[in-house]
Amino acid sequence: MVCWFLNYNRRGLARIPFDGLTWNSDKSHYDNRSPFNSRDSHHVCINEELSMSKDIEDYSERALRERISMHGKSIYDRGLTAGSSGNISVRLPDGFLVTPTNSCMGRLDPDRISKIDALGNLISGDQPSKEAFLHHSVYKVRSDANSIVHLHSTHSVAVSVIADIDPNDVLPAITAYYVMRVGRLPLVPYYAPGDRALAAAVEAMAKDAHSMLLANHGPVVAAANLDAAVYATEELEETAKLYLLLRNLPIKILTQEQCNDLKTK
């Protein structure tokens, strides 16, 4: 099955196939001749689609660049990321925008945000984040994902290193909004920065979950639009904080019936 980019203007959706491309970390571009090219293997788009309107229908590329910068500053100002860590992306008709390498989320310049085409070539802006392959891995298998946020946020990272968490679903259903915005949160095993195996692990996990936690690293959250991706990431961080606060207390989590009911909200 082929995944698609969707056109982002108001002239209607234009579907552009996007498959068989692989991020080449050595060359910082996609390489469709790579041995990792999985044109004949794992390009299965999940059927359970994220709802909500898509940025690509509502905003121009210029507006998306400004919105990435606005959200980046908000995230940075509230201490959800530090230094030059974390990255944000938004899907375009033929590629995606992603925050540049070594950029501070609090001081993003919309004009310098990296624009990557479907072949992995840098079209404009600075060199992309070295973690852009995480975004590519998710976009490749989730046609419903139009924006991705990856942070090294403190409480989420803290939870990711706890020894006895459930790798299939790291956090309990503490609140309704966590269940609705994040849902199941699988743990991706630890890989060193730059390890190509991380891209494959994220791609495999993304087929069944739009949110995931990288062990000893941080969350990767995809959503139908930028606002939703940011809000879900924030909900995840707050729930991780609650979980740590409650670690040694008897707690009542939402029942399976209550969680099922939220799926209809």
Q: Enumerate the active-site residues.
A: 177
**Count of chain residues binding Zn ion (CB under 5 A):** 1
In single-letter form, the type of residue at position 29 comes to H
Q: Look at the block and give the residue holding tokens 């059927």.
A: 47
- Residue closer to Zn ion by CB (options 12, 193) is 193
- Taking the complex as a whole, the smallest distance from the CB of residue 76 to Zn ion amounts, in Å, to 15
Part of the chain binding Zn ion (CB under 5 A), chosen from 58-66, 72-80, 131-139, 247-255: 131-139
Which among 31-39, 105-113, 128-136, 199-207 is the span making contact with Zn ion, rule CB under 5 A? 128-136
Name which of residues 146 to 205 contact Zn ion (CB under 5 A).
none
Q: How far is the CB of 189 from Zn ion (least distance, A)?
A: 15
The Cα–Cα gap between 82 and 200 comes to 27
Which residues have CB under 8 Å from 61's CB, separation 6+? Answer: 8, 92, 97, 115
Based on CB atoms, which residue is closest to Zn ion, 35 or 193?
193
Listing DSSP states for 56-74 in one string gives HHH--HHHHHHHHHHHHHH
Cβ(169)–Cβ(186) below 8 Å: yes
Q: Which lies closer to Zn ion via its Cβ, residue 56 or residue 199?
A: 199
The number of C-alpha atoms within 13 Å of 220 and in the hemisphere containing its C-beta is 29
Strand, coil or helix: what is 75?
helix
Taking the complex as a whole, how short is the minimal distance between the CB of residue 214 and Zn ion, in angstroms? 7
- Single out the segment in contact with Zn ion by CB under 5 A; choices: 22-30, 40-48, 103-111, 125-133: 125-133
Burial of 12 (0-12, 13-18, 19+ CB in 10 A): exposed
Tokens of 69: 């910068």
**Min CB(58)–Zn ion separation in Å:** 28
In the complex with Zn ion, the residue whose CB is nearer, 25 or 143, is 25
Which residue has the CB atom at the shortest distance from Zn ion? Answer: 131
Least Cα distance to 211 among 254, 242, 240, 246 occurs for 240
Q: Which is nearer to Zn ion, 181 or 217 (CB)?
A: 217
In angstroms, the first-to-last Cα distance of the chain is 29
Stretch binding Zn ion (CB under 5 A), from 5-13, 26-34, 126-134, 249-257: 126-134
* Token pair belonging to 215: 């062990």
Give least dist CB 86 to Zn ion, A: 7
Q: DSSP assignment of 96-122, as one string?
A: EEEPBTT--GGG--GGGSEEEETTS-E
Fill in the DSSP letter of residue 160.
H
Q: Residue 61 or residue 237: which is nearer to Zn ion going by CB?
A: 237
Site for Zn ion in 15-34 (CB under 5 A): none
Minimum Å gap between C-beta 34 and Zn ion is 22
- Chain contacts with Zn ion (rule: CB under 5 A): 131
